[in-house]
């Protein structure tokens, strides 16, 4: 059975509709209990809300044709900045995000949130936004037809501070999280109405395909690009070149 959406908003502005959905996603995720499987859980849609809000209101547009979908925040990316693949230099210099960022109520001492002052660079985010900054003259030009989102807004860590990705959570926790994140993704796609959803990595692609099938969004085509993670030998060779060729092969880019 195809699921349906009931979107209620007092505004017709695309950015405000996307923002409303993000706020509800954040609240729904806060209500979930991960105490039995993750020692630490960061929700940047809470403590970095102003930066995320600025990102959405600046760049979510009706003209969007392609949505890139990541997995979840990295410890030195969105967990710091509130922006998907949010490598600090890219967020401040290219995306021009300057909103204040606070910190989680409880932080792992090895993973402090320093916001836009974080000295660490997230390699995935640097590669990801670096490709677009090379291809497009400015962020505004990129976002005329593109948008970037994460499937899950939460960052999970083990007691050691090791990153724990959503696909490694116990099955019961994954089911609860999936219900919340699937609904949000469906709502985002319904508002933006892109031609393409591009998963950044296989897991994000699989989430996109499931949501599009379950919510009857069959007009949206689905593809995938290689994840820019430094853990991947292929990504470390020439990620920008590989991702560009993949998007051209799909027909997303000329």
When pLDDT is cut at 50, 70 and 90, the band that residue 172 belongs to is: very high
Q: What is the dihedral of CA 88, 228, 67, 41, to 10 degrees?
A: -60
**Per-residue pLDDT tens over the stretch 193-247:** 999 999 999 999 999 999 999 999 999 999 999 999 988 888 889 999 999 999 9
- Judge residue 170's burial from the number of C-beta atoms within 10 Å of its C-beta, 0-12 exposed, 13-18 middle, 19 or more buried: exposed
**Per-residue pLDDT tens over the stretch 47-74:** 999 999 999 999 999 999 999 999 999 9
Q: What is the pLDDT of residue 10?
A: 42
pLDDT at 4 over 50: no
């Amino acid at each position: 059975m195809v699921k349906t959406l009931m979107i209620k908003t007092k505004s017709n502005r695309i950015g405000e509709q996307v923002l409303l959905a993000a706020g509800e996603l954040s609240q729904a995720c806060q209500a979930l209990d991960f105490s039995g499987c993750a020692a630490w859980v960061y929700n940047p849609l809470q403590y970095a809300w102003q930066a995320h809000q600025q990102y959405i209101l600046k760049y979510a547009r009706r003209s969007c044709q392609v949505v890139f979908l990541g997995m979840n925040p990295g410890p030195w990316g969105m967990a710091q900045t509130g922006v998907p693949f949010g490598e600090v230099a890219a967020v401040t210099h290219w995306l021009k995000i300057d909103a204040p960022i606070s910190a989680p109520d409880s932080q792992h001492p090895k993973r402090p949130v320093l916001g836009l002052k974080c000295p660490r660079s997230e390699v995935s985010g640097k590669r990801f936004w670096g490709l677009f900054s090379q291809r497009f003259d400015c962020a505004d030009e990129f976002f005329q037809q593109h948008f970037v989102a994460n499937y899950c807004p939460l960052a999970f860590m083990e007691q050691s501070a090791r990153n724990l990705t959503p696909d490694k959570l116990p099955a019961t926790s994954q089911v609860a999280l999936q219900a919340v994140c699937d609904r949000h993704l469906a709502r985002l796609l319904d508002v933006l109405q892109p031609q393409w959803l591009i998963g950044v990595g296989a897991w994000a692609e699989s989430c996109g395909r499931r949501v599009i099938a379950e919510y009857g969004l069959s007009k949206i085509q689905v593809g995938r690009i290689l994840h820019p993670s430094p853990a991947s030998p292929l990504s470390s060779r020439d990620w920008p070149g590989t991702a560009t060729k993949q998007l051209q092969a799909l027909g997303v880019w000329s």
